[in-house]
Structure 1
């Protein structure tokens, strides 16, 4: 069936909506969305994660079940360096048990023992811990939610520049991590070729790129 056969014009299908500032700001507003929480319980908990089970009433009046993963805030850092005038990016490679494979990622992490720590401090600490890098400047670029359909976890995106190499300080659970400094060109090739499949790393780079910072 063509667009004209089902009563819609080709021109209408090609229309573009321009969102006004008030509409854009709605994303920053706290809103229950018309949902009512009837009951809530913690179904599972460990030092890093809580699994909450809520009985809810949707805006249409239907009751339902919602599983919510509660995790603390995390940081993800793009370490942007330079070798012989060529921009570089430092990645880590590590085994991710849930998916059963090694992953190429930007340095990232959270401090579960200090959930109220300033994100700037966490970002500098995670960068040093996983890569040994110390940055003269850490630029907070923005925030993202890594799985808003099921999790409360929010992440802070940083660009690290003015890098100095030091020793990494890997935790006991991170001993399989390896560090790799590659050209920005190869990093973008890895994104394009779907070699990098970590959605947080991809989203962080897209945000930094959209701001014209790299």
Structure 2
């Protein structure tokens, strides 16, 4: 169960939250008002600590994983993908939503790396966990660091569809990627966070990395 008390399937519940200072936020009503292909919209009526009732609209998201794939020369694997809401292609990390029931997080990350970048990795570490925009959505994503990369033979590669059909990949020196973040040429949030996080981790000799399978409070561990 996520930290807010909502079940893994996103079913709204009459739940609440009590802060460290004793303030109580009670969910008086909760209804799903829209269901799309990936997201749902939940309307919560919340009683605040001062007794005032207010509406909060929550975009419910299944969560996602992303991969900073760092090769032996210090280059990061980037993918270029069209994103319809902003009407342009963005440089991003290999990534995808958690849409396979029971799939473990590191397995999902490895699948996305194989499908989008045609790579496997022998070494996996946890880089960073992110709440995307907690003022409006429960979307959370976990970014892994993948190293010891190997190229998948062309005959065994996944064939992309939709936005992935014309996806391009490119390896970028990590320092150049950091420059791209700071100059505004890399703006995808996961890519910005992942690139800056791995640059920071590298500066510390990667000593700060966590194991790839540590618990994730914002998403429950899948069964099996």
**TM-score when normalising by structure 1:** 0.78
* TM-aligned CA deviation for residue 185 of structure 1: 2.6
1:40-65, Cα deviation, whole Å (9 max, x unpaired): 11111123111111111112211111
**1:109 aligns to 2:96 (yes or no):** yes
Assess, with a 3 A threshold, how the Cα gap between structure 1 residues 170 and 45 changes in structure 2: closer, same or farther. Answer: farther
Unaligned runs of 5+ in 1: 1-27
Indicate the SS of the match to 2:98. Answer: coil
> Are 1:97 and 2:84 counterparts?
yes
Whole-Å Cα distance in 1 between the matches of residues 195 and 62 of structure 2?
22
- Name which one, 1 or 2, has greater alpha-carbon Rg: 1
Q: How is 1:136-175 mapped onto 2 (pairs within 5 angstroms)?
A: 136-166=122-152, 167=154, 168-173=157-162, 174-175=164-165
For the Cα contact (< 8 Å) 1:72–1:115, is it kept in 2? no
> CA contact under 8 A between 1:143 and 1:155: conserved in structure 2?
yes
Distance 1:209 1:90 in 2: 14
Deviation of 1:29 after TM superposition, in Å, equals 9.6
Matched, 1:36 2:26: yes
CA displacement 1:179-209 (0-9 Å, x = unmatched): 1112223212211211001112111233333
RMSD, matched Cα: 2.1
Is residue 53 from structure 1 mapped to residue 43 from structure 2 by the alignment? yes
* Deviation of the 1:170 alpha carbon: 4.3
1:134-162 per-position Cα deviation (integer Å, ceiling 9, x unaligned): 10111122311111111112211100100
Q: Does 1:122 align with 2:108?
A: yes
* 2:173 alignment counterpart: 183
Cα distance change on mapping 1:116 and 1:148 into 2, 3 Å:
farther
Q: CA deviation at 1:71?
A: 1.0
For the 8 Å contact 1:124–1:138, the answer to whether it is kept is no
Q: Is the 8 A contact 1:138 1:160 kept in 2?
A: yes
* Equivalent position of 1:3 in the other structure: none
| Equivalence map 1:5-24=2 (5 Å) | none
Q: Find the aligned partners of 2:55 and 2:194 in 1 and give their Cα distance.
A: 31
CA contact (8 A) 2:178 2:196 kept: no
Distance in 1, Cα, partners of 2:18 & 2:62: 21
TM-score by length of 2: 0.75
List gaps (5 residues or longer) in structure 2. 6-16, 208-224
